[in-house]
Chain A
């Protein structure tokens, strides 16, 4: 009963930091000699970014200390000024996410989430197939109007309730729920931090974003349902059998109580509607076109709604702020945005944009460039938090769009690559990691890397191909405020390997 745990040897404790340090130096050196980071400041910026990415990969529990350290190095070496650090923390996005997290907390508190679960388990004559389809659609829908983490918490509560009652292994249905959550999350700017980041960086309005993303999500989710029904057919058949047995014994799938859901539903509809019409509200208020106020009401609406709700329920206001806002995640995002900003400040992203643009002059079409962005961002997001890749890639695309607005399709390539790529591995998205933790805590079960990878890769490849094909066949809308094309800049000749360099 008493177990002794041997402490790791000095070698194994030092191995990871030494490898991480070596990788950081190697990539910074390669970026320098490859022309991406020709200055000392830009090489340090690349090193700092790679150091944080590497830490997420090998020891994610140290990601915040690593980000603090990387920022300190950037400031200490004068690679980035403190003003630049603060300017790149993207407080608009942090405020938006904070407001949405409070709103989700209120919805849980009011019973709206409980009502959703109960609405499913109270359905008559459900089968394994119909439950799976409902699970997929609900996961995608919730992820698109709430956020992926809140969505997965609700979805897994539903899965555990049904699987515990029917005495079946919840793992396949947890996987189904998470995969569909990741697919639904890029439908709106609310679903995934990546969505609001790309939306605000590119300058999309909420409705433009929805108009561009939702058709692709619908096709992707339908294809995913097909893949999952086939992949987990045995587990779904077992669920059908158990449901029939349960019905024969006149048993339900859980307690059924009257839950007052209307207030929660009203709050959600009112918030989403206000966000959806943010552009019109901004126009009414005369904010459109004024400097620094682009998408202002998109960001402000969740804060206003959260403020009203907290004033309405003052005795719970502290609870919402303490328990429902994921401060650790938000802090990491701020640090990550600042470190990614160093790539922009030191000119690394300009150089990357120039290199990519050079590729197009060598015959690489925009469609192939989209495929490249989908591929890189999906593979990258499979192994590192998708926000990391998006934060680093956005300035590159922004720079390319400033040359030619046809590159706006790359925003969509980045969005779908990052979100759908997150399905490939167990560490690909925040929702995956949260789901794993919940499964282990609730059922003492683990999902192996391979078990996830097999189905994740199948779904990831199918949906990334759908996303890319949709972008190519019917290019989604361009941002409301198109980026001003750069003054007729000469595209460097293929023979030239000129790079933009920014002095530190």
Chain B
């Protein structure tokens, strides 16, 4: 793909901006994971005269120890954030034979190594997302792994539509795979079933047009059973047999979740800066923040996931 053929402004930053042909290692023979990472780190350090290759390698292994970075079939994306870097660095290694990268996962033919400055989580996450999006099509991986020229690989990334702006949006860090939702016409029984099956404490509720109308939480269910005026009592021991729950247990099938929908939930728009996600977590003392595209549910960000993205990813 010729970069000039895309509609993208050629001055915009992409993954290719941080990639040099000299950082691409083609068709290496049989290698272990550690050998492959060592070669990539050594190449980056020698081409760009980066000090501390050993520390760079250790940072990658430490990240792998927290969880492997195989992002799709045949692709691994080992990455780390380092305090002494001034800009991001990307290196690529292809292997026709495939490399056993993580236990229980198939061999990878494409390893993309990424280092970014510690103080720039936004650019780190955007490059990760840009690479993941560019390789979403499984055929792309096979095509890239079969290239014989670093130039061809560089052209592939230069032609990608995924830009790296430097400021992180909510959409960049949301989880948008299969989203479990409830419908506003569902019964209380179904809501309780789903909450217990999925072992979650909150579920989004959408209407028949896909508009998000609120959330159902375990807390809201409990509040129906134990309203505020019962909590005034310091000693609840007279209710030894869960008497407050009797009404709900009796009526859960013919009660609508409309009774427990909370319309005041943590949410941001896809284009809102990621910092507004943090603000929603703090402001609402929430654990889950929903990402909306207009009024439609686009994704979800859970607090531990958010913290991992910002501080550890």
What residues of chain A have their CB less than 8 Å away from a CB belonging to chain B? 1-2, 108-111, 113-114, 117-118, 154, 157-158, 160-161, 165, 167, 249-252, 254-260, 316, 444
Contact = CB atoms under 8 A, between A and B. Distances in A.
A114 B264 contact: no
Nearest to A117: B229
A251 B253 CA distance: 12
17 contacts: A1-B268, A1-B279, A113-B232, A114-B229, A114-B230, A161-B227, A167-B258, A249-B251, A249-B254, A251-B251, A252-B247, A255-B246, A257-B230, A257-B238, A257-B244, A258-B239, A258-B243
Contact of B230 (A1, A255, A260): A255
Given A249-B251, A255-B248, A259-B233, 7 more contacts: A111-B238, A113-B229, A161-B229, A249-B254, A251-B251, A256-B246, A257-B243
Interface residues of B, number: 34
A444 B248 CA distance: 25
A2 B276 CA distance: 6
A157 B229 contact: yes
Interface string B204-219: 0000000000000000
Interface of B: 224-230, 232-235, 238-239, 243-248, 251, 254-255, 258-259, 264, 267-269, 272-273, 275-276, 279-280
Contacts of B247: 251-252, 254-256
A258 B246 CA distance: 12
B232 A111 contact: yes
A109 B231 CA distance: 9
Given A255-B226, A257-B243, A258-B243, A2 B279 contact: yes
Contacts of A167: 258-259
B239 A257 contact: yes
B269 A1 contact: yes
Nearest to A313: B234
B231 to A, nearest CB: 9
A470 B184 CA distance: 56
Contacts of A114: 229-230, 232-233
B258 A108 contact: no
A157 B227 CA distance: 9
Given A255-B225, A255-B246, A444-B264, A2 B230 contact: no
A251 B230 CA distance: 19
B308 to A, nearest CB: 22
A114 B239 CA distance: 13
A108 B235 CA distance: 11
Nearest to A315: B234
Contacts of B248: 255
Contacts of B259: 165, 167
B213 to A, nearest CB: 14
B276 A108 contact: no
10 tightest Cβ-Cβ pairs between the two chains A and B: A255-B244, A257-B243, A157-B229, A111-B233, A108-B232, A1-B276, A109-B234, A1-B272, A2-B276, A114-B229
